[in-house]
Structure 1
Amino acid sequence: MDDRQQERAALGVHLSVSGQRARILEDGFSEHGYVLEIGGAEQSHVDIADATVVFYEYLRRIANVLDVLAPPHEPITALHLGAGALTLARYVQATRPGSGQVAVDYEPQLMGFVAELLPLPAGTRCELVVSDARAVLPELPRLFGHNPAVTDGVFRGIDAVILDIFTGMDAPAHLATADYYAELRELLSGRGVLVVNVGDDAGLPFFQQQARAMLDTFEHVWCLCDSSMLTGEHEGNVVLIGTARELDEDAADALFARGPHPAEVLGTEELWDFLEYLSGI
Structure 2
Amino acid sequence: MSGGHRVHLGFSGLQAEILPDGFSDRGFVLEIGGAEQSHVDLDHPESIFYEYLRRVGNVVDTIAAPGEAVSAAHLGAGGLTLPRYIQATRPGSRQVAVDIERELPSLVVDRLPLPEGTRLGLLIDDARDSLPHLASAAGLDDGEGFDLVVVDIFADRDSPEHLACREFYAECLELLSPRGALVVNVGDDVGLHFFARQAGFLADAASSDPRVGVASGAWTLADAGLIRRKGEGNLILAAGPGLVDRALGFERRWFDAGPHPAQVLDPLQTQEFVGELGT
TM, length-normalised to structure 1? 0.92
Q: Which amino acid aligns with 1:20?
A: L
Aligned partner of 1:110 among 104, 109, 133: 104
Aligned to 1:241: 238
Q: Which amino acid aligns with 1:172?
A: P
Note if contact 2:5-2:19 (Cα within 8 Å) is conserved in structure 1: no
Note if contact 1:164-1:197 (Cα within 8 Å) is conserved in structure 2: yes
97 and 110 in structure 1: CA distance in 2 versus 1, 3 angstrom threshold: same
The answer as to 2:251 corresponding to 1:231 is no
Q: Which amino acid aligns with 2:256?
A: A
Tell me how far apart the structure 2 counterparts of residues 261 and 30 of structure 1 sit (CA, whole Å).
Answer: 24
Aligned partner of 2:67 among 54, 67, 73: 73
Aligned partner of 2:203 among 209, 215, 218: 215
Tell me how far apart the structure 2 counterparts of residues 183 and 111 of structure 1 sit (CA, whole Å).
Answer: 24
Aligned partner of 1:37 among 31, 35, 50: 31
Shift of residue 32, structure 1, vs aligned partner: 2.0
Shift of residue 249, structure 1, vs aligned partner: 6.2
11 and 126 in structure 1: CA distance in 2 versus 1, 3 angstrom threshold: closer
Tell me how far apart the structure 1 counterparts of residues 198 and 247 of structure 2 sit (CA, whole Å).
Answer: 23
Runs ≥4 residues deviating over 3 A:
none
Aligned to 1:157: 145
Shift of residue 11, structure 1, vs aligned partner: 4.2
Aligned to 2:166: 178
52 and 141 in structure 1: CA distance in 2 versus 1, 3 angstrom threshold: closer
Q: Which amino acid aligns with 2:87?
A: Q
Tell me how far apart the structure 2 counterparts of residues 230 and 121 of structure 1 sit (CA, whole Å).
Answer: 35
Aligned to 2:81: 87
Provide the secondary structure at the position in 1 that maps to 2:129: coil
- 1:158-189: CA deviations, max 9, x gaps? 00000000010011111011011111111100
Aligned to 1:122: 116
Shift of residue 139, structure 1, vs aligned partner: 1.4
Shift of residue 155, structure 1, vs aligned partner: 2.2
Aligned to 1:258: 257
Aligned partner of 2:46 among 16, 27, 52: 52
Q: Which amino acid aligns with 1:277?
A: E
Shift of residue 232, structure 1, vs aligned partner: 4.3
Residue identity (%): 49
Note if contact 1:232-1:278 (Cα within 8 Å) is conserved in structure 2: no
Q: Which amino acid aligns with 1:108?
A: R
Provide the secondary structure at the position in 2 that maps to 1:136: helix
TM, length-normalised to structure 2? 0.93
Q: Which amino acid aligns with 2:147?
A: D
Q: Which amino acid aligns with 1:41?
A: A
Tell me how far apart the structure 1 counterparts of residues 230 and 272 of structure 2 sit (CA, whole Å).
Answer: 17
- 1:119-173: CA deviations, max 9, x gaps? 00000000011111011111123213x3xx31xxx22100000000001001111
Provide the secondary structure at the position in 2 that maps to 1:89: helix
The answer as to 2:61 corresponding to 1:64 is no
Aligned to 1:198: 186
Note if contact 2:76-2:152 (Cα within 8 Å) is conserved in structure 1: yes
Tell me how far apart the structure 2 counterparts of residues 248 and 44 of structure 1 sit (CA, whole Å).
Answer: 34
Please list every run of 5 or more consecutive structure 2 residues that lacks an aligned counterpart in the other structure.
207-212
Aligned partner of 2:91 among 97, 101, 114: 97
Tell me how far apart the structure 2 counterparts of residues 156 and 129 of structure 1 sit (CA, whole Å).
Answer: 19
Shift of residue 231, structure 1, vs aligned partner: 2.5
Tell me how far apart the structure 2 counterparts of residues 167 and 180 of structure 1 sit (CA, whole Å).
Answer: 16
Question: What is the aligned length?
Answer: 268
